[in-house]
Amino acid sequence: MAAERVERGSGNGFADLGVPDPGLALAKADLAARILLVIERAGLTQAAAGKRLGIGQPKVSALLRGRLEGFSTDRLVRFLTLLGCDVRISISGPRPEGRGGVGVVRS
């Protein structure tokens, strides 16, 4: 039997899959994961969460299932504030290599 080849990932599955702008995709996924956690901890139904967020239950369902195509990072951040979370944005100085990245720091 031939040995299987295993390749170490980069730490960002979106980058490994060749998704355009993988840092942003990972940031959106992290924001959505935090929204899911807050909704679960609050014991909210999808309908109740939708009411707080100003969206319908089907959109909440899509969000909680990771279907993020219709959700901008701005919108996800706004959802977190509507759920009572503080969101802080930190910007570093320019990187010598020229291109910065986007990430979410969990606290």
User: What is the C-alpha separation between 45 and 101, in angstroms, rounded?
Assistant: 34
Q: Which pLDDT does position 99 carry in this prediction?
A: 79
Helix (H, G, I), strand (E, B) or coil at 59: helix
CA 83 to chain centre: 15
Q: Which pLDDT does position 106 carry in this prediction?
A: 76
Q: Which pLDDT does position 57 carry in this prediction?
A: 97
Domain boundaries, given as residue ranges, for the chain: 20-82
Q: What is the pLDDT of residues 52-97, one digit of tens each?
A: 999 999 999 999 999 999 999 999 999 999 999 999 988 888 888 7
Q: What is the pLDDT of residues 7-62, one digit of tens each?
A: 888 888 888 888 888 889 999 999 999 999 999 999 999 999 999 999 999 999 99
Fold assignment, 20-82: 434 Repressor (Amino-terminal Domain) (1.10.260)
